[in-house]
Amino acid sequence: MLKKLFAFCLLLLALPAQAALEVFACEPEWAALAREIGGDQVHAYEATTALQDPHRIQARPSLIARARAADLVVCTGADLEVGWLPLVLRQAANPKVQPGRRGYFEAATAVRLLEVPLRVDRAEGDVHPAGNPHIQLDPRNLLRVAEALAARMGELDPANEARYRARLEDFRGRFQAAIARWEKQAAPLRNMPVVVHHKVFEYLFHWLGLKEVAVLEPKPGIEPSAAHLAAVLEALRREPARMVLRASYQDERASVWLAERAGIPAVALPATVGGTPQARDLYTLFDDILNRLLAAQAAR
């Protein structure tokens, strides 16, 4: 009998602790942030990977099943997931996480959006009416989102509210110190002219002061034609850039074509956690972005 009881206790110790909140995170950065705040009180499921374009995701049955079991859905919002998330939530039929309920959280509502269009015309490509949704690449935005997310998690799980608040304060202190270090490290990048494949780095540029001089996509979400790439190359002869940047989930061919002819580096940056082997969490995400930018700059 004692042996059976001992074996049962060992089995209980081997099982993972039951999380208080099941989080469905649309992108890896929000899963990482939920874990920072929630610790072992949160189980965060990542609906997409860093090597997928978050605009274009299939509403797979596995996503629907995860949303059905979630206590909290955490997504960017600002129409980034408009092509797939509404279908996932509708099919999941989980009343707790439908838009407008406390179990539905959009990170974009916690920050000021850049590039808000004066008019919305789908003929202009994949335009986001609320503004550019790629807010995760300014770490100051992550602090603002963390504050709002911790409050929401405390509402949904009052028993652990104090714990979420304490972990938020710890995260805030460590992340603010990291931001100061990154800003000092990135000082040589200020005013550096760059070309981008897609306008995914606007918040990074706004934070660090890089200067975007050309975009490979003729319109948001539209891949460049040969004629458009030739026009960008001609424009670079009048206003040179130091490098061509793309997110690691994007096809490299256009940026490599332009970089070879312009005589500048083509650089793939992680757009979120997991975008490169080095970008393992929210800290190493920005470490790796800066390391890659500074290495490309020094290579000139």
Q: pLDDT tens digit string along 68-110?
A: 999 999 999 999 999 999 999 999 999 999 999 999 999 999 9
Percent of the chain's residues with pLDDT above 90? 85
Strands 104-106 and 193-196: unpaired
15-19, 28-32, 52-56, 111-115, range with the lowest pLDDT: 15-19
Average pLDDT over residues 137-145: 98
pTM given for the model: 0.90
pLDDT of the residue at 236: 96
* pLDDT per position as a tens digit, 194-210: 999 999 999 999 999 99
pLDDT of the residue at 300: 62
Average pLDDT over residues 138-157: 98
Rg of the chain (C-alpha set): 21
pLDDT of the residue at 15: 40
d(CA 266, CA 242): 9
d(CA 239, CA 212): 11
For the chain, give the number of residues: 300
- Is pLDDT at 16 greater than 70 in this prediction? no
Structural contact between residues 23 and 72, judged by C-beta atoms closer than 8 angstroms: yes
Name the band, by pLDDT with cuts 50, 70 and 90, for residue 19. Answer: confident
- Is pLDDT at 1 greater than 60 in this prediction? no
